[in-house]
Structure 1
Amino acid sequence: MTDTQPLLIELGTEELPVKALPGLAQAFFDGVIAALDKRGVTVARGDATPLYTPRRLAVLLPGVASEQPEQRSEVLGPYLNIALDADGQPTKALQGFAAKAGVDWTALEKTTDAKGERFVHRATTPGATTAALLPEVLREAIAAMPIPKPMRWGAHAHAFARPVHWLVALHGGTVVDAELFGVRAGRDSRGHRFMHDAPVAIAAPGDYVEALRAAKVLVDPEARRRAIVDAVEAAARAAGGQARIEADNLEQVNCLVEWPSAVSCAFEAEFLAVPQEALIATMEANQKFFPVLREGRLTEHFIAIANIESKDPAEVAKGYERVIRPRFADAKFFFDEDLRQGLSAMNDGLATVTYQAKLGSVADKVARVAALAQAIAPQVGVDADLAGQAARLSKADLQSRMVGEFPELQGIAGRYYAQRDPALAGLSDDDRAALANALDEAWQPRFAGDDIALSPLGKVLAIAERLDTLAGGFAAGLKPTGNKDPFALRRNALGLARTLIESGFDLDLHRLLAAAVARVGALPAGKDGATASADAGELYDFLLDRLKGYYADRGVPGAQFAAVAALRPASLYDLDRRIDAIGTFAQLPEAAALAAADKRIRNILRKADVAIPDAVDAALLREPAEAALAEAVAAAHGETAPVLANGDYVAALTRLARLRPQVDAFFDAVMVNADDAALRANRLALLRGLSERLGSVAAIEHLSS
């Protein structure tokens, strides 16, 4: 058995693209392992993961075999009738095959397949050393990396994400003789660009991480990430608050530094009059800073991460503060100017902004949403006039300077402006606050995993907005295809479904979709003379398709979702309760047998060749088993009717599960398709009544495999 040695590959570059860095590191790591596996070289990966900094990609594996196993080959040659002549001597075909294999024809073996006997050359050769294979392994791993825009440098044809300056390749303590991008492999890495301006000799792969740490480089991204979080949180505590550390911001900062050092900074308190979301967006998106909050409110403090331990942190802080001040000043100017204009005045300009060529202006969309919101509001205990007013202002902040600069603040900016708009002074304080919050909440959920709107008014706006977006998108021919979804209709559909389900609004979705489709359909014809149209049934199916994934993520088996979806419930809140109930039912010992029986019954009913009466005739119940089933079904109908009316689906299904003995006995003792047509029709009526009640919560036949 061949011995194993740790393997280190480090590719040193100029600063790599921040957002692409983790993916490049993972691809390089996976590519090296895949290329070794392809060649049969044993790899003990252990818990190794990609190592990287802005200036390097590294693969460190705890055990890699020193050579391949023996290589066995088998090359098929000509069939005997072609290879040998009548005297049993080799033909030119066989001689040529033997010469190509490098052996005398008499050394060849024979094998048999479906066409007959043929010659074959089998050979066994020693495996190559891993050191000899590594140059090609590296080239193969590099070639497989996803680099959309390779760079070229110098006077050669090499291309990579960034220019390459050094290469470390060690198997055990031995340098591998390899070359990439014109750079020969050695054992010298490089430390921090500013704090360790000297080569870092790596004696063996196991020394790599600590040798670089001594050279002011944290090459392990997880260790670097922990160091950033610890430093930022400590600095925030010293400033009297808590750091806001968003995963995406943290990941980008982690890809910008090799030796993180926290720098405490501050800005003028007067900027806190600006919506904190705008300031936070500027700090995180543009500068990669970490805001400091206190009880959920932004303070004037923020934390920057420098890639150096400065002797004068205060001077470094001044530089960060100078960078952020102009952007904050712009945000304050935009905010002040928007307040002077007022939200209601902004709304006037929406008539000149095209929403979609076939669907009119943004003002047209707002009018449709307002009408839907006013119709929905009374059904959930919300004031219809307030809902209409909120909906009519829901897009006004599109005309604001703030949203023009920070598009992600749509809705959020509207909330701030509504709180201060003089035109809304006639509202009570409570109504004004509800309206302002609803303008923000109407956009929730904004992303996967985001919460739905919190307030009833916000939920109404969120529902109305998405209804119109879906109806309009389908009417305009913008249905998603493949990866294309220009109106984000999939996200809007899931947002609508989640809001209806998680809010507990027991609304008739069929009617809501029909109303939305009707309003879109009322638009005038376009320049080509075609009118926009959508189909409410198709929209409902689209929503169900989104919900399939939603429930799968919650661990609901596909068969259980299909069982409920088959009934096409009008209310998605009701659909959710049915799915919970069918999950409980599926755990009962009687569930599988009843599902199979229901599937059998439905197949029998589909093939019925007689008219099935509406009721069972007791006088025609000849067999004891059918009489017992009829009695049990009648009792179940009576006992489940009130619980079904109250939506207690678990109780209904639990009661129906008690029918199993009578159902089993019926199919064991009774022939449904009796020769007597009257008997046959009566038994079919009994089975239809049973199946209808079994399917009152869900089409349970879907639970039968």
Structure 2
Amino acid sequence: MSAMKPLLIELGTEELPVKALPGLAQAFFDGVLAGLDRRGVALDRTGAKPLYTPRRLAVALPAVAETQPEQKSEVLGPYLNVALDAEGQPTRALQGFAQKAGVEWTQLERTTDARGERFVHRAVKPGARTAELLADVLSEAVAAMPIPKPMRWGANDFGFARPVHWLVVLHGGDIVDVDLLGVRSDRMSRGHRFMFDRPVWFTSPLDYVESLRAAKVLVDPDERRARIRAEVERAAADAGGSARIDAGILEEVNGLVEWPKAILCGFPREFLAVPQEALIATMEANQKFFPVLDAEGRLSERFVGVANIESKDEDEVRKGYERVIRPRFADAKFFFDEDLKQGLSAMGEGLSSVTYQAKLGTIADKAARIARLAESIASGAGVDPALARRAALLSKNDLQSRMVGEFPELQGIAGRVYALHDAALADVGDAERFELAQALDEIYMPRHAGDGIAPSKLGQVLAIAERLDTLAGGFAAGLRPTGNKDPFALRRNALGLARTLLEGGHDLVLHELVERAVALQPVQAPDVGAYDITHFVYDRLRGYYADRGAAPQQFDAVLNAVHESLPDFDARVQAVREFVRLPEAEALAAANKRIRNILRKAEGEVASTVDASRFTEEAERDLARALAGAVADTDPLLDRRDYAAVLARLAQLRPVVDTFFDRVMVNVEDAAVRRNRLALLQQLADRLGSVAAIEHLSIAQGAQG
């Protein structure tokens, strides 16, 4: 086996795009490993992972073979009837094949396949040195990286995410000669731009991480991320609070620094009068700062910035951070104060001139449709219909606020805050006003994957109505998602609707809700109906249940049965998941599939009643008695939706069902007996399918009756 040596590749660049940085590093890492693997180069990747900072992408592997293994090749040649003439001499076809292989024809071997015997050229050559392969490996890895708009620099006719300034390629202690993106490989890297602005030389790949650490560069993103978190938490604790560390902001900061240093900063307390969500949004999205919360979880007047330097004058860095944030906060306070003067109710006056969608009218039209839907479903959800209607009519007003105009992510949040201050809502009691205000925020929940549904019943009613209108309108306007395009986020809205109905325990029939929403639309798509939208919503639930361990056939078994609501659907799915663990489940599912096949092929309409006097076999009498008992036992269980108990009771029918099919021929010549047996099977199928279409659970093909 070839000797193994550590391998280091570092590509040094100007500052890489922060949001793309982790993906670029992963792609570079994967590309290098894939290139080595394609060439059969043995390697040990124990502990290896993408290494990167804003100025470098690196791959460090603990052990990579010095050479490829022997390269074996096999090229198939002509069959004997084509390769040799009647005297056994080579034809031109065989001579040409041998010449191309570089050997005499007598040196060729023979092999046999389904068509007969043929010539074959087999060769073995020594593997190439890994050092000779790395130039191509790196070129392929770079070419495969996801760079949508490569930059060009100088007079080069090639591009990359950012201009490249250095390249390190070491195998063991030796430099591997590679020319890539206009730079030639060396053992020289560079340290921190400000704190160690001089070359860093590596004698071995094993020195890489430690040598850069000494040069004030943390090249391991996990180490750097942990340092940022610890620094930020320490600074917040010094201020007597705790840091709000958003995972996305943490990742962005991790892509901005090579040597993180947390700086505790502050702002005037007067800005805390502004909704804290606006201040947090400014700090996080615009400046990549970390807010500091007090003991009650409220925003304090402190925040933490992360510098890419240990400054000798930290106060100046702090002043700089505070200086950039104050104008943004001042703008937010101005917007807030002006919005309070106008009031939430008055903001709605302008919605009739704002287009929601060309075919669907204005935002005021949409709010009116949401209000009608919310009012119609409120009673069934235990909510005051008048309050639901009023909240729905106010739900879009904050779109006209200055605050949401500047901070779109505050839609709903601003509505909640402004509702609590709106003088026009003085006729609403304090408790109802608070409930209404909360619902204006909750209407958009769940906002993203992993977010919870609206906590209040009023918020859930608004969320249901909002999504029903969005889905019905989107389909009516011809905006159904195609491929990756989903301009109205209909997939997300469908899942949000389903989750709110299901997790909120709303015993409402989805298809009926969709029909109401479709009827309210100003346009109707001729080729799209409520059924299409309902099916679209259920499709979104496939992934939801898959994440919770339900198999696709279990989902389909319930989808193809009659169910009243999404909570009812969920109860049936859970029951099916319990049923499939029973030893009788598979055989009973297969039997039901067989029954369905028999009934589907029956001529004429199957009778609804069974005549016991026409039984001729003891097995059919036993089945009829057992089925009657099961029906009597499961009727009350179905009434109270104890579906698991229903299926467990039906599982007890397996022996008599098996015996019936072993001893009874259904499709006999006697028409009366045949019809009676079909009626018995219909009753059995109806009861077996009372919870789910359990035939979908069978892996068998189903026998013929």
Shorter-normalised TM range: over 0.9
* Residue of structure 2 in register with 1:458 after alignment: 459
Of 330-339 and 182-191, more deviation after overlay is shown by 182-191
1:641 to 631, 635, 638: 635
* Residue of structure 1 in register with 2:246 after alignment: 246
CA contact (8 A) 2:475 2:525 kept: no
**CA-CA distance at 1:503 after TM superposition:** 0.5
**CA-CA distance at 1:93 after TM superposition:** 5.4
1:575 aligns with 2:565: no
* Residue of structure 2 in register with 1:469 after alignment: 470
Give the Cα–Cα distance (whole angstroms) in 2 for the partners of residues 543 and 245 of structure 1: 34
Give the Cα–Cα distance (whole angstroms) in 2 for the partners of residues 612 and 95 of structure 1: 75
* Residue of structure 1 in register with 2:390 after alignment: 389
**CA-CA distance at 1:683 after TM superposition:** 1.6
1:186-205 correspondence to structure 2 within 5 Å = 186-205=186-205
Give the Cα–Cα distance (whole angstroms) in 2 for the partners of residues 80 and 626 of structure 1: 68
Give the Cα–Cα distance (whole angstroms) in 1 for the partners of residues 439 and 282 of structure 2: 24
Name the count of aligned residue pairs.
Answer: 698
When residues 63 and 697 of structure 1 are mapped into structure 2, their CA distance, relative to the original with a 3 A threshold, is same
Give the Cα–Cα distance (whole angstroms) in 2 for the partners of residues 93 and 680 of structure 1: 70
SS at structure 2 position matched to 1:152: coil
1:331 aligns with 2:332: yes
| Corresponding letter in the other structure for 2:307 | A
1:600 to 589, 594, 597: 594
When residues 143 and 612 of structure 1 are mapped into structure 2, their CA distance, relative to the original with a 3 A threshold, is closer
**CA-CA distance at 1:79 after TM superposition:** 5.3
Give the Cα–Cα distance (whole angstroms) in 2 for the partners of residues 9 and 533 of structure 1: 57
**CA-CA distance at 1:614 after TM superposition:** 2.1
1:482 aligns with 2:476: no
CA contact (8 A) 2:478 2:525 kept: no
CA deviation string 1:134-173 (max 9, x = no partner): 1121111111111111111123323111111111111111
CA contact (8 A) 2:557 2:692 kept: yes
CA deviation string 1:328-377 (max 9, x = no partner): 11111111111111111110111111111111111111111100100111
SS at structure 1 position matched to 2:444: coil
Give the Cα–Cα distance (whole angstroms) in 1 for the partners of residues 162 and 421 of structure 2: 51
| Corresponding letter in the other structure for 1:537 | Y
**CA-CA distance at 1:512 after TM superposition:** 1.0
* Residue of structure 1 in register with 2:702 after alignment: none
CA deviation string 1:412-464 (max 9, x = no partner): 11101111011001100011101100000000001111100010100000001
SS at structure 2 position matched to 1:427: coil
Task: Specify every segment of 5 or more residues in structure 1 that has no aligned partner in the other structure, as ranges.
Answer: none
* Residue of structure 2 in register with 1:30 after alignment: 30
| Corresponding letter in the other structure for 1:428 | G
* Residue of structure 2 in register with 1:154 after alignment: 154
| Corresponding letter in the other structure for 1:697 | V
**CA-CA distance at 1:571 after TM superposition:** 0.6
1:54-93 correspondence to structure 2 within 5 Å = 54-77=54-77
Give the Cα–Cα distance (whole angstroms) in 2 for the partners of residues 254 and 55 of structure 1: 12
1:562 aligns with 2:556: yes
* Residue of structure 1 in register with 2:582 after alignment: 588
* Residue of structure 1 in register with 2:425 after alignment: 424
Give the Cα–Cα distance (whole angstroms) in 1 for the partners of residues 116 and 667 of structure 2: 58
* Residue of structure 2 in register with 1:185 after alignment: 185
When residues 278 and 100 of structure 1 are mapped into structure 2, their CA distance, relative to the original with a 3 A threshold, is same
Give the Cα–Cα distance (whole angstroms) in 2 for the partners of residues 570 and 675 of structure 1: 41
| Corresponding letter in the other structure for 2:258 | E
Give the Cα–Cα distance (whole angstroms) in 2 for the partners of residues 105 and 622 of structure 1: 80
When residues 131 and 667 of structure 1 are mapped into structure 2, their CA distance, relative to the original with a 3 A threshold, is same
| Corresponding letter in the other structure for 1:565 | L
TM-score (norm 1): 0.96
Give the Cα–Cα distance (whole angstroms) in 2 for the partners of residues 152 and 366 of structure 1: 50
CA contact (8 A) 1:366 1:395 kept: yes
CA contact (8 A) 1:375 1:384 kept: yes
When residues 558 and 263 of structure 1 are mapped into structure 2, their CA distance, relative to the original with a 3 A threshold, is same
RMSD: 1.8
SS at structure 1 position matched to 2:301: strand
* Residue of structure 1 in register with 2:664 after alignment: 670
Give the Cα–Cα distance (whole angstroms) in 1 for the partners of residues 108 and 481 of structure 2: 61
CA contact (8 A) 1:610 1:681 kept: no
SS at structure 1 position matched to 2:520: helix
When residues 98 and 659 of structure 1 are mapped into structure 2, their CA distance, relative to the original with a 3 A threshold, is closer
Give the Cα–Cα distance (whole angstroms) in 2 for the partners of residues 679 and 109 of structure 1: 72
1:523-534 correspondence to structure 2 within 5 Å = 523=522, 534=528
CA contact (8 A) 1:514 1:536 kept: yes
**CA-CA distance at 1:694 after TM superposition:** 1.1
1:248-647 correspondence to structure 2 within 5 Å = 248-294=248-294, 295-520=296-521, 523=522, 534-609=528-603, 611-647=605-641
Give the Cα–Cα distance (whole angstroms) in 1 for the partners of residues 669 and 464 of structure 2: 56
When residues 92 and 695 of structure 1 are mapped into structure 2, their CA distance, relative to the original with a 3 A threshold, is closer
CA deviation string 1:646-690 (max 9, x = no partner): 111122222222222222222222222233222222222111111
Give the Cα–Cα distance (whole angstroms) in 2 for the partners of residues 533 and 386 of structure 1: 36
1:40-51 correspondence to structure 2 within 5 Å = 40-51=40-51
CA deviation string 1:25-67 (max 9, x = no partner): 1111111111111111111111210000000000001110000
SS at structure 2 position matched to 1:159: coil
**CA-CA distance at 1:80 after TM superposition:** 5.5
CA deviation string 1:450-502 (max 9, x = no partner): 10001010000000111111111111111111111111111111000000000
* Residue of structure 1 in register with 2:675 after alignment: 681
CA contact (8 A) 1:479 1:485 kept: yes
| Corresponding letter in the other structure for 1:263 | I
SS at structure 2 position matched to 1:560: helix
Give the Cα–Cα distance (whole angstroms) in 2 for the partners of residues 612 and 162 of structure 1: 74
**CA-CA distance at 1:110 after TM superposition:** 4.2
| Corresponding letter in the other structure for 2:229 | V
Give the Cα–Cα distance (whole angstroms) in 2 for the partners of residues 400 and 483 of structure 1: 32
1:700 aligns with 2:694: yes
SS at structure 2 position matched to 1:6: strand
**CA-CA distance at 1:618 after TM superposition:** 2.2
Task: Specify every segment of 5 or more residues in structure 2 that has no aligned partner in the other structure, as ranges.
Answer: 700-705
Give the Cα–Cα distance (whole angstroms) in 2 for the partners of residues 116 and 594 of structure 1: 50
Give the Cα–Cα distance (whole angstroms) in 2 for the partners of residues 629 and 117 of structure 1: 63
Of 306-315 and 317-326, more deviation after overlay is shown by 306-315
Give the Cα–Cα distance (whole angstroms) in 1 for the partners of residues 264 and 622 of structure 2: 81
CA contact (8 A) 2:370 2:465 kept: yes
Give the Cα–Cα distance (whole angstroms) in 1 for the partners of residues 225 and 623 of structure 2: 67
1:107-126 correspondence to structure 2 within 5 Å = 107-112=107-112, 118-126=118-126
Give the Cα–Cα distance (whole angstroms) in 2 for the partners of residues 619 and 123 of structure 1: 82
When residues 607 and 158 of structure 1 are mapped into structure 2, their CA distance, relative to the original with a 3 A threshold, is closer
When residues 576 and 82 of structure 1 are mapped into structure 2, their CA distance, relative to the original with a 3 A threshold, is closer
Give the Cα–Cα distance (whole angstroms) in 2 for the partners of residues 651 and 85 of structure 1: 79
